[in-house]
């Protein structure tokens, strides 16, 4: 049996936090068990899911992103309660951190190099000979005022500093990606559950099918976009547990979530 674990609303502990409220309502009214927990308390190694996890239950998390140590805390706590995490710590990082999937998917996505956060980058970036750089840590791009696109190595450094300032940490390290131009409004999200790809509209491109055959992880998202030549390119993978539904209907998203059972 599978139990789905959601973060509770901070002002109403009987309901899931707002972005997951509707999904939680639909899943909990079906044959699948759901539990809520205090997301913020996890930082203090406190985990009191309600209802309790039953011994031997397979547990799927659906909620806010967790960094590597925090996710490890979550699965350790699930195991202490007698549950079996569907996504291991290694599987989580395989899709949540860019280096986990890049090598296997390098033909489908922008050329990328990885650096430590405190590494001197300017000379190395000059050697690449690129005109523009897309800058992010291993998980997220920069959403503050400088954005994620740099026109020079010095601008790359400024963006890195802004990520550290506004988000409080550089998660994993720095990913420098060759800038590619894409057609606006063509990005689309797919999900893969145990090697089977799912689409919000039933159509699954060959690129997504190929990725589903390559990346061996229980549950992840695949974001693709068209370049200016009309070719599909992989933007990124993400762990499915912490990937929002974007333009998916709740009913289709629930179909994907419950496919993990």
Domain boundaries, the chain: 2-86, 94-104+183-258, 111-178
The pLDDT value given to residue 120:
84
CATH level 2 (architecture), domain 94-104+183-258 = 2-Layer Sandwich (3.30)
Low-confidence ranges of the chain (pLDDT < 70): none
pLDDT in tens, 165-217: 999 999 999 999 999 999 999 999 999 999 999 999 989 999 999 999 999 99
CA distance 224 to 238: 12
Task: Please state which of the four CATH numbers 2.60.120, 3.30.1490, 1.10.10, 3.40.50 is assigned to the domain occupying 111-178.
Answer: 3.30.1490
Residue 253, number of CB atoms within 10 A of its CB: 23
Question: Beta-strand (E) ranges in 149-259?
Answer: 149-150, 174-178, 188-193, 196-198, 219-226, 232-239
pLDDT at res. 119: 83
Q: What pLDDT is stored for residue 100 in this prediction?
A: 98
Query: Using CB atoms within 10 A of its CB, is residue 254 exposed (0-12), middle (13-18) or buried (19+)?
Result: buried
pLDDT of the residue at 260: 98
Q: How far is CA 155 from CA 148, 179, 186, 235, in A?
A: 10, 14, 28, 22
DSSP 256: H
């Amino acid at each position: 049996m599978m139990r789905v674990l959601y973060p509770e609303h901070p002002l109403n502990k009987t309901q899931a936090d707002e972005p997951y409220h509707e999904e939680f309502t639909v899943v909990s009214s079906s044959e699948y068990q759901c539990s809520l927990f205090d997301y913020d308390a996890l930082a203090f190694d406190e985990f009191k899911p309600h209802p309790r996890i039953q011994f031997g239950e397979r547990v799927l998390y659906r909620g806010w992103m967790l960094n590597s140590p925090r996710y490890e805390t979550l699965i350790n706590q699930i195991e202490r309660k007698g549950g079996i995490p569907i996504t291991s710590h290694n599987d989580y990082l395989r899709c949540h951190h860019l280096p986990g999937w890049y090598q296997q998917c390098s033909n489908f996505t922008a050329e990328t190099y990885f650096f430590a956060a405190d590494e001197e980058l300017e000379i190395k970036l000059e050697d690449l000979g690129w005109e523009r750089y897309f800058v992010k840590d291993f998980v997220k791009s920069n959403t503050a005022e400088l954005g994620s696109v740099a026109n020079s190595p010095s601008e790359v450094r400024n963006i890195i500093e802004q990520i550290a300032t506004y988000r409080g940490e550089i998660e994993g390290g720095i990913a420098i990606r060759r800038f590619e131009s894409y057609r606006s409004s063509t990005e689309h999200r797919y999900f893969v559950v145990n090697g089977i790809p799912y689409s919000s509209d039933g159509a699954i491109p060959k690129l997504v099918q190929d990725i589903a055959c390559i990346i061996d992880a229980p549950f992840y998202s695949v974001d693709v976009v068209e370049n200016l030549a009309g070719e599909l390119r992989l933007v990124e993978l993400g762990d499915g547990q912490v990937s929002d539904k974007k333009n998916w209907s709740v009913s289709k998203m629930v179909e994907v979530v419950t496919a993990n059972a």
